[in-house]
Structure 1
Amino acid sequence: MDSGVATKIIEGVPSAVVTLVIGSIAAYVAYRQYRVNHAKFKLDLFEKRHEIYLYTVEFLTRLANAVEMEPREALVFRGQTAAAIFLFDPDMAQFLNRVADKVFTPREQRRETQVWAAAQLQNLAERFMPYMSLATWR
């Protein structure tokens, strides 16, 4: 190899190292940005699901306590939980519809509805846990 070529290669090494360092820093920043955005997405998803959970707790509590409710309140609950079809699996959306339907229970069956609502409240956190547990969100 002639000395002119070797000199050119040696002169290019510092700029190659600088380029490599800058590229590595840019890759690290991009990775950290991805992690922050992913965490933000998870938090937003949690907040939306938590909101539906709280609406459900309130509605079931009213059913369990035999609070007289108008059919309009079932429609309001359906509106508050309408996003469930996108945030949970179809079984959860069907469950929320069953909860709303309990408003339309005939008077003779209200006691059964109270018992059902109380039972649902007992395991509601467990039902929502697979969607909301922060322990699995690393």
Structure 2
Amino acid sequence: MKDTLCFQVAQGVPAALVALTVGIAGAFIAWRQYATARAKLKLDLFERRYEIFMAVWTHLSFIKEHGCELMNESGPKYEAFKEFRNNIPQSGFLFGRDIERYLSEINQNQMDLWGLEIHSGLRALSPSESVKKSELTAWFDRESRYAKVRFKPYLDLRKWK
């Protein structure tokens, strides 16, 4: 009876069940590790993106409150400017071209406003320069409040982009 095929198959069933159970447990553990690694990547990316958002928002707020002129290379205004400028190159990798273009637009508008502020300290601005300065000042005021909306698709973890 021990030599029959059915008996030999029946002897192998427990080992097959153990192997199947171990395989399923291993697959479940691997899937959980994948899910954990993915969540960690999302968190790390969120933290890096949030740092850039805060640098942009702080920079826009300083310009809104104090203007663009950087009196010297020290102090909170210059530090906000430096941190903002250092984030422009990596913004394209972390967010995409739209945010990279937005940061470049902020930088260009800041340089334009800064130039007008310097000129207004040396001489009276022409009517067109005064209008341009007012438009840029209003732009920074609006963007200091609107920046959150631009960054929201990248920082809302429920709708990950």
Per the TM alignment, residue 122 of structure 1 is displaced from its structure 2 partner at its CA by 1.9
Per the TM alignment, residue 97 of structure 1 is displaced from its structure 2 partner at its CA by 1.0
Residue identity (%): 29
Bigger mean CA offset, 92-101 vs 63-72: 63-72
1:78 aligns with 2:101: no
1:125 aligns with 2:148: yes
List runs of 5+ in structure 1 lacking aligned partners.
Answer: none
**Distance (Å, rounded) in 2 between the aligned partners of 1:69 and 1:79:** 18
Query: CA offsets, 1:3-42, max 9 Å, x none?
Result: 6111110000000000000000000000000000000000
Give the aligned residue type for 1:87.
L
SS in structure 2 at match of 1:70: coil
TM-score, scaled relative to structure 2: 0.76
**Distance (Å, rounded) in 2 between the aligned partners of 1:65 and 1:88:** 27
| Contact kept? 1:66, 1:114, Cα under 8 Å | no
Per the TM alignment, residue 67 of structure 1 is displaced from its structure 2 partner at its CA by 3.3
List runs of 5+ in structure 2 lacking aligned partners.
Answer: 118-129
Per the TM alignment, residue 129 of structure 1 is displaced from its structure 2 partner at its CA by 0.9
TM-score, scaled relative to structure 1: 0.87
1:33 aligns with 2:33: yes
Per the TM alignment, residue 120 of structure 1 is displaced from its structure 2 partner at its CA by 0.9
Aligned pairs for 1:14-53 within 5 A? 14-53=14-53
Let me know the Cα RMSD of the aligned residues.
Answer: 2.1
Give the aligned residue type for 1:121.
S
Q: Give the ranges of 4+ consecutive aligned residues of structure 1 lying more than 4 Å apart after TM superposition.
A: 71-76
**Distance (Å, rounded) in 2 between the aligned partners of 1:79 and 1:68:** 17
Describe the shift of the 1:110–1:63 C-alpha distance in structure 2 as closer, same or farther (beyond 3 A). farther
1:98 aligns with 2:105: yes
**Distance (Å, rounded) in 2 between the aligned partners of 1:35 and 1:69:** 48
SS in structure 2 at match of 1:123: helix
Query: CA offsets, 1:78-99, max 9 Å, x none?
Result: 2133210101121110110111
Give the aligned residue type for 2:140.
A
SS in structure 2 at match of 1:82: helix
